[in-house]
Amino acid sequence: MTALETKFSKSALSDEVKEFLKQHKDKQGSFNYVEQIDQMMPKSARYIVVDYNDLVSHPQIESKFNENPDEILAAFTRAIKEILQERFPQYATKIKEEIRARIVNYPVQRSLRQINAEIINKMTSVSGMVVRSSEVKPLAKEITYKCSNDHEFHITLEKGMTVPPLYRCGIDPKCTSKDFTIQPDKSRFIDFQIARLQELPEDLPPGQLPHYVDVTIKQDLVDNARPGDRIILTGIVRIEQEYFVGARSTSGLYRLRIDGNNIEFLGGRGPKTSRKTEREEVSPEEEKIIKSLSGNPDIYNRLVDSFAPHIQGHALIKEAILLLIAGSTQRLLQDGTKIRGDINIFLVGDPGTAKSEMLKFCARIAPRGLYTSGRGSTAAGLTAAVVRDKSGIMMLEAGAVVLGDQGLVCIDEFDKMKPEDRSALHEVMEQQSASIAKGGIVATLNARTSILAAANPMYGKYDPFKNITENVNLPIPLLTRFDLIFVVRDIPSKEKDSRIAKHIINLYTPGGNDTRSLIDSDILTKYLSYSKRINPVLTKEAEDKILAYYMKMRNVESEEMITVTPRQLEGLIRLATARARLLMKDQVEAEDAERAIFLIESMLRDAGVDVNTGKVDLGVLQGRAHSEVSKMQLFMDVLKSLEGDNKMAVEERLFIKELVKSGKFTEEEARNYLRRMLREASIYESKPGHYNRV
């Protein structure tokens, strides 16, 4: 092919594209591409979005995408420039180097595993999750150099990121200068960023490591997708040479890399301004099914039965987990304060009570769910890590709670986590953000996620004669951040055991499990993601119910001695709102409030009972029950009065006699309490058999 023919075919291709852009009408009959180009100047945009489906009627343009995508994209650039030149000549001249077309709905979709040597320099579309992104750096496109004899010349870099070495002046062959300086004001740079795309968890074949590919992102695509976003990336596959340090010869090995052309967010195609979290958009047919389901009078029970139907019983816990998936609405106050809408639940109980099974099921059906286990999780893996790239760039890598933003994270084996790793969750659970300050990167990432945690008690089985804080080895501030805490006990009873056994045996027999009245798990996912769109408001009746209950619980003077904190009040409101959401109601009614109160009360009956007095006492969840606090107070008061002003050593026999007199201790209890206070270093033995306050 001669140079003339090449030139002709290029301009002919541009004319073809120009014709398409000018003539194409959308379904409404408007010239949508001409309109987009008209909007470029007011919006100061540098690109237009071309829908691949519109090219089907132009086979000569479409076929070029499969043969030589670079050529056709260059033709699009020229065509857009020419049309823009006719309308806004000054703007066209100003941005002439940066105009380009972004392609959406590209049909050739591959998984990350299918990106291999066959498709180098071909265009492809691949879905994945962004796991890290580098900082934005300028990349040189045209560099102007000046030699020591004041000769100016410039080099253009079309592809790649390497600048060829300079040996001599580019203008005067006789010039002997070896000293070149860059002229930044006469050079041209574009924004450049590297992101890493990893396979989506649901596409991962069992027992395989997730594949990843690095993506170069340029110009206005920069910072479009952040770590944690699920995207569909359209781009051209390129190669770059692997360098070995200290090797004499250049390597024959290359690395694959995708040159990004456009990013669409999963869950509805097209560029998303609002980041939706749905795994799938709900189609109109499914919407009809969901609407008809929500009209059922017994829908609430059916939803609970459809959650993990392979687990017998535990209806309360299943209901609570459904409320957690539906969640409440995040409130944004006028001063910019956010009040969390996500519900956190903690399950603690005996081995073999299907806790992990419920967590796994929950992560599977939630619109966006991640599952992780305690031993395999570190603080950096849960929140965010700063890693150094091979090029020396510090990068931020998102962890589980950041990837699960606007979804939920299930953490199993919560008690097996190291305390320093667990402490990373304090901020996530109340402030809903993950802050990091390492290696010069100071960032606060969104972590608006619900946390469902499960743990085993310290001694294997739950000890009913100890309070919950003694059963679970967890810090108290973390415990109070859970809206609901369930104690799952394995208590043998003939009727219940035979029911569970029959149920398990049924699961092993073909067709033994009757699931006719249950909702299919796909529809359940769609139902839950659809219910997240509803923002119910509190009615007066519900408000009164919640307020009355809160005031009753706050009343410490009563015999029942419960103290609740505003955290429980917020928890009540969240649970009531979530129930209204599940039932697709616009208002939170009195029955929703009642159910929320019932859930909190059942939690208190399980986990909030002070084993010493047998009464419900929320102080138990906050470290020390009231009976404990008052005993300790009395103990110290007696010791203080016996010591007198001049801090005399108090004899053990006399001290115990005084304690028994108070009526709160028996002699045995008083001795045990004395030993315990010695262990806790609240008192010390000043001489054998005599004690003083510390």
Residues 529 and 413 in one domain: yes
Residues 397 and 504 in one domain: yes
For 245-257, write each residue's pLDDT tens digit: 666 667 778 888 8
Interval 294-305 mean pLDDT: 80
Residue among 258, 194, 193 nearest 232 (CA):
258
Is 688 part of a structural domain of the chain?
Answer: yes
Interval 546-553 mean pLDDT: 83
* SS3 category, 659: helix
Long-range contacts (CB closer than 8 Å, 24 or more residues apart) made by 162-171: 170/145
Interval 452-480 mean pLDDT: 80
Angle between helices 626-643 and 667-679 (to 10 degrees): 90
Is 279 part of a structural domain of the chain?
Answer: no
Residues 100 and 113 in one domain: no
Is 475 part of a structural domain of the chain?
Answer: yes
| Sheet containing 683-687, strands listed edge to edge, beginning at the edge strand earlier in sequence | 650-651, 690-693, 683-687
Q: How far is CA 554 from the centre of its chain?
A: 35
Residues 335 and 425 in one domain: yes
* CB neighbour list of residue 369: distance below 8 Å, 6 or more residues apart: 362, 363, 404, 407, 408, 409, 410
Nearest 5 degrees, angle CA 305-CA 309-CA 313? Answer: 70
Task: Confirm if 468 and 621 have CB atoms less than 8 A apart.
Answer: yes
Residues 493 and 366 in one domain: yes
Q: Using the predicted structure, report yes or no on whether residue 542 has a pLDDT greater than 80.
A: yes
For 427-442, write each residue's pLDDT tens digit: 888 788 788 887 777 7
Interval 57-63 mean pLDDT: 79
Residues 130 and 97 in one domain: no
Decide which of 478, 501, 535 is a domain's last residue. 535
Q: How would you classify the pairing of strands 212-218 and 537-538?
A: unpaired
Give residue 618's pLDDT: 58
Give residue 564's pLDDT: 67
Give residue 466's pLDDT: 75
Q: At 532, list the tokens.
A: 């997240």
Is 492 part of a structural domain of the chain?
Answer: yes
Q: Using the predicted structure, report yes or no on whether residue 579 has a pLDDT greater than 80.
A: yes
Is 218 part of a structural domain of the chain?
Answer: yes
Give residue 680's pLDDT: 67
Q: How far is CA 484 from the centre of its chain?
A: 21
Decide which of 38, 73, 104 is a domain's last residue. 104
Q: Give the residue numbers spanning the domain of 87.
A: 3-104
Decide which of 239, 265, 291 is a domain's last residue. 265
- The CA distance from 266 to 669, in Å, is 63
Interval 13-37 mean pLDDT: 79
Residues 127 and 206 in one domain: yes
- The CA distance from 398 to 449, in Å, is 14
The DSSP symbol for 281 reads P
Looking at the whole model, is its pTM more than 0.95?
no
CATH number for the domain spanning 11: value is 3.30.1640.10
Q: How many residues does the chain have?
A: 694
Give residue 379's pLDDT: 75
Torsion of CA 519, 522, 528, 529, to 10 degrees: -160
* SS3 category, 407: coil
Q: Using the predicted structure, report yes or no on whether residue 338 has a pLDDT greater than 70.
A: yes
Is 568 part of a structural domain of the chain?
Answer: no
* SS3 category, 84: helix
- The CA distance from 170 to 154, in Å, is 8
CATH number for the domain spanning 493: value is 3.40.50.300
Interval 369-391 mean pLDDT: 77
Give residue 610's pLDDT: 61
Is 505 part of a structural domain of the chain?
Answer: yes
Q: How would you classify the pairing of strands 369-373 and 384-388?
A: unpaired
Residue among 385, 528, 371, 359 nearest 443 (CA):
385
CB count within 10 Å of CB 684 equals 11
- The CA distance from 559 to 540, in Å, is 30
Residues 253 and 334 in one domain: no
Which residue shows structure tokens 């806004």?
88
Residue among 323, 359, 361, 360 nearest 342 (CA):
323
Task: Confirm if 307 and 321 have CB atoms less than 8 A apart.
Answer: yes
CA 47, 52, 58, 62 torsion: positive or negative? positive
**How many domains is the chain built from?**
4
What share of the chain has pLDDT > 90, as a percent?
0
Which residue shows structure tokens 């026999």?
653
Task: Confirm if 313 and 358 have CB atoms less than 8 A apart.
Answer: no
- The CA distance from 493 to 131, in Å, is 49
Task: Confirm if 354 and 311 have CB atoms less than 8 A apart.
Answer: yes
The DSSP symbol for 220 reads G
CATH number for the domain spanning 176: value is 2.40.50.140
Q: How far is CA 657 from the centre of its chain?
A: 59
Residues 350 and 450 in one domain: yes
* CB neighbour list of residue 692: distance below 8 Å, 6 or more residues apart: 639, 643, 647, 649, 650, 683, 684, 686
Give residue 247's pLDDT: 61
Compute CA distances 254 → 116, 242, 246, 357, 683, whole Å. Answer: 11, 5, 17, 44, 71
For 498-532, write each residue's pLDDT tens digit: 888 888 888 787 765 555 557 777 778 788 878 88
Residues 340 and 399 in one domain: yes
Confidence of residue 611 (pLDDT cuts 50, 70, 90): low
- The CA distance from 145 to 138, in Å, is 17
Q: How would you classify the pairing of strands 484-488 and 345-349?
A: parallel
Residues 476 and 384 in one domain: yes
Residue among 412, 411, 382 nearest 398 (CA):
382
Is 213 part of a structural domain of the chain?
Answer: yes
Give residue 2's pLDDT: 45
Give residue 559's pLDDT: 47
Confidence of residue 681 (pLDDT cuts 50, 70, 90): low
CB count within 10 Å of CB 533 equals 10
Q: Which residues does residue 436 pair with via DSSP β-bridges, in sequence order?
A: 443
Please, what is the average pLDDT of the chain? 77
CB count within 10 Å of CB 33 equals 24
Residues 168 and 239 in one domain: yes
